[in-house]
Amino acid sequence: MLNFEHTAFLVEDTKAVADWWCEHLGMEVVRYGGPPSHMTFLRDASGKTMFEIYEKDTLNTPAYASMHVSVLHFAFYTDDIERERDRLLAAGASIVDDVYTTDAGDQLAMLRDPWGGAIQVLKRKTPMV
């Protein structure tokens, strides 16, 4: 049986992204690999979700800010979507889609981190995880 461990994505400035995601999205660094890739593993507060971010000189970092948020986004759930939206905006995120309610009764908001990465903040009518 396979169990999900992490998703990896390329960034321009691993330290800056890791610092912001830790401070504002509640992630923690669980491993740092050092130069040249500065591979950094970030784990969420539940301990069940992990991301790897890294730099690679031989690859072009995707232009996340120009991608539609449906192509790639990272979803974080909360009990107070308006509070979290406002907190992230004050920390340098930008709004893409303000809070709205889906037909299923979930509340969603779509933002971008300071590097253009799509961050979805959500409150599920019925929690899924």
**Per-residue pLDDT tens digits for 31-70:** 999 999 999 999 999 999 999 999 999 999 999 999 999 9
Residues 78 and 110 placed together within one structural domain of the fold:
yes
Distance CA 48, CA 28 (A): 12
Q: How many domains does the chain have?
A: 2
> Domain for residue 93, yes or no?
yes
pLDDT reported for residue 107? 98
85: Cβ contacts below 8 Å, ≥ 6 apart: 95, 98, 99, 109, 111, 121
Residue 129: pLDDT band with limits 50, 70, 90: confident
Residue 100, domain member (yes or no): yes
CB contact at 8 A, 42 and 51:
yes
Q: Which domain holds residue 27?
A: 7-54
Across residues 4-18, what is the average pLDDT? 96
pLDDT given at position 94? 98
CATH, residue 38: 3.10.180.10
- Residues 49 and 85 reside in one and the same domain: no
pLDDT in tens, 71-111: 999 999 999 999 999 999 999 999 999 999 999 999 999 99
